[in-house]
Structure 1
Amino acid sequence: MTATLNSIIDSLKQKNIRITPQRIAILEVLIQSKNHPTAEEVYKQIEVDFPGMSVATVYNNLRLFTDLGFVTEMSYGDSASRFDFTTELHYHAICSKCGKITDFHYPNLDDIEIAASRLTGYKIDSHRLEVYGLCPACQKEVVE
């Protein structure tokens, strides 16, 4: 189940972590975003409201939220990490041209950890799946 802003705030309070306007703003950007923003993109969306805040503050808070399990960090090769608020198990379709990331869920893949454990003897604790191709917008550019 995806956490809500209020449940995250309650969890932060229980862990004696200060609830700052900056932290709330960062969480709001992540919750509302559908494009898995980078730390820089999050910073650009809130810098107007917090002119004294640095990009490092955004990075530090994203690390905190990742460590607490509210956010998933997605790193792909040499590009900047992207942050995904949805912490439910899901997969990503990634455009190989523009880098757009789209979430999808395919329930039959949920059993992959069991199968991998049986086949390898590993104690599996997580998995990640990405598929690559051209998003609809980039497909249109190729046709035009």
Structure 2
Amino acid sequence: MTTLKYSRQREAIKDFLAGRKDHPTADTVYTNMRGQFPNISLGTVYRNLALLSEIGEIAKISTGEGAERFDGNPVDHYHFVCTGCHSVSDLEMPEIAHINILAGQNFDGEIKGHVAYFYGLCGDCARKQKASHAKKSKQDTIFQKIR
């Protein structure tokens, strides 16, 4: 196994992700790294994110909604994806390890793991939607009284 050459930029990217809970995109990582490394290129950020993900130092999150996100916590855990604002957040819950056994019961192969994302509205989007529905309901009531 070859040893990986140390890179200040790679280490800074890893540290940046470790201090975040919002699972930023590569563009967000790039924008933030420019303050510390003004000459860093977007390609360098993408290559380092791919390498860090490949060696298990970070996790790449592909939800099918927009750009890939990156998580500084590579330990298996679950994520919530907001269908309103497309934010990605960690869910604090125990791992459902037995799901691999259930999935493998009627499968002629070997299940080694799983990836699960939970979807819905985050707290902010749910409150905005509720307030919007309440406002519309009030407007509908006023309009009906005018008729």
So what's the TM-score if we normalise by structure 2? 0.81
Supply the RMSD in Å over aligned alpha carbons.
1.7
Distance 2:2 2:24 in 1: 26
Distance 1:55 1:108 in 2: 34
Identity of matched residues, %: 34
- How much does 1:122 deviate? 2.3
Could you tell me which residue of structure 1 aligns to residue 113 of structure 2?
126
- The SS at the match of 2:3 is coil
Residue by residue over 1:15-44, the C-alpha shift from the partner in whole angstroms, topping out at 9 and shown as x without a partner, is 422222211110111101101111111111
- How much does 1:78 deviate? 5.2
Give the alignment partner of residue 33 of structure 1, picking from 20, 23, 41: 20
| Number of positions where the alignment pairs a residue of Structure 1 with one of Structure 2 | 131
Residue by residue over 1:47-84, the C-alpha shift from the partner in whole angstroms, topping out at 9 and shown as x without a partner, is 01111110100000011111101112111225111111
Pairing 1:43–2:30 present: yes
Pairing 1:24–2:4 present: no
Distance 1:120 1:126 in 2: 14
Gaps of 5+ in 1: 1-13
Give the alignment partner of residue 50 of structure 2, picking from 58, 63, 84: 63
- How much does 1:106 deviate? 3.5
Which structure would you say has the larger Rg? Answer: 2
- Matched letter for residue 17 of structure 2: L
- How much does 1:134 deviate? 0.8
Give the alignment partner of residue 112 of structure 1, picking from 99, 117, 120: 99
- How much does 1:118 deviate? 2.0
- Contact 1:70/1:85 (<8 A) preserved: yes
- Contact 1:116/1:122 (<8 A) preserved: no
Gaps of 5+ in 2: 132-147
- Contact 1:23/1:61 (<8 A) preserved: yes
